[in-house]
Amino acid sequence: MRAFTFERALSVEAAVRTAASNPDTKFIAGGTNLLDLMKLEIETPTHLIDVNGLGLDTIDQTPDGGLRIGALVRNTDLAADDTVRRDYGLLSRALLAGASGQLRNKATTAGNLLQRTRCPYFYDTAQPCNKRSPGSGCSAIGGFSRQHAVVGVSDACIATHPSDMAIAMRALDAVVETVKPDGGRRAIPIAEFHRLPGDTPHNETVLEQGEFITAVVLPPPIGGKHIYRKVRDRASYAFALVSVGAVIQPDGTGRVAVGGVAHKPWRIEAADNALPNGAKASAKELLADARPTEQNKFKVDLVERTLGAVIAEARG
Ligand code: SF4
């Protein structure tokens, strides 16, 4: 690990100002991904700002009946919150499907959104990787790609986003609230928050240097059955091969977002509209532009089957 300096943030504004003035600065909260990346020298910040003391760890009702989740709410606390369990069950279930109990105790809401891919080549500094080292190439294309993306891919990167929580938030139309270096505030729909890889897979979100997430806001509850189904190589502590997060209404309409298939939580409006016609029709829309590799083309069928299981569960 490289040497770095460290400070505890006293206010959001001060933390943002410091981070904006030094591009080698990182915010740290739970550190469940960042510290691993620093030990491997994939992330090499020269300065860390500990934001744990900023008090952004509450879950509050919004005036319109939605929920504002502070950026520093731990994954365990969010999953166990009574309102989340009652009104946003999809979010609670997705959180509990992720990582381990110990990691969920440390991991935060904002950090979960910002965690980086688990592509094995990204973590192997002896291998070319455009995300880690722009312009060096992509070892997964033509290499081991069983776990990689099948939609939204580019010739530069086929990595997936690893978060379970983000799949639920995408289906629930969450909005990410931030403070920018100039003090301005933004409300970013989660659909626009994560980027596709394109030619710049190292740019994973639309955040500016120094921009800080303060909260994630959920709209008022929409009812329906909330189901999160994660398919993985072992029963716990593994990332999704495919996951499906859905809210299905009694008449069969609903929303569906898919994980393990793209560089961002994957949701297509046409797939939502096709839900009443069944899993085949909806999955066809979800994966209309799929470009799987020989090793991960099984995911195309797996999405349809997992979605079929979710719809069957919703119908009881
Ligand atoms: Fe790197 Fe992306 Fe290729 Fe993985 S898929 S090796 S993260 S460029």
Is residue 31 over pLDDT 90? yes
Q: How far is the CA of 260 from the centre of ligand 1 (A)?
A: 14
pLDDT score of 309: 98
Tokens matching residue 68: 């504002």
| Atom of ligand 1 lying closest to residue 197 CA | 2
Q: How far is the CA of 20 from the centre of ligand 1 (A)?
A: 27
Q: What is the pLDDT of residues 146-200, one digit of tens each?
A: 999 999 999 999 999 999 999 999 999 999 999 999 999 999 999 999 999 999 9
CA-based R_g, the chain, Å: 19
* Residues 6+ away with beta carbon under 8 Å from 256: 171, 244, 245, 246, 267, 271, 272, 275, 282, 286, 307, 310
**Three-state secondary-structure class, residue 226:** strand
pTM of the model: 0.97
Residue 101: which of 69, 116, 70, 79 has the closest Cα?
79
Beta pairing partners, 248: 225, 254
Is residue 236 over pLDDT 90? no
Q: How far is the CA of 68 from the centre of ligand 1 (A)?
A: 34
Mean pLDDT over all residues of the chain?
A: 97
Q: If pLDDT is split at 50, 70 and 90, which confidence band does 117 have?
A: very high
Tokens matching residue 76: 């365990």
Provide the b/e sequence for 110-144 (b: ≥16 CB within 10 Å): bbbbbbbbebebbbeeebebbbbeeeeebbbbebe
- Name every protein residue with a CB atom under 6 angstroms from any ligand 1 atom: 117, 119, 121-122, 129-131, 138-140, 148, 157-159, 201
Q: What is the pLDDT of residues 283-314, one digit of tens each?
A: 999 999 999 999 999 999 999 999 999 999 99
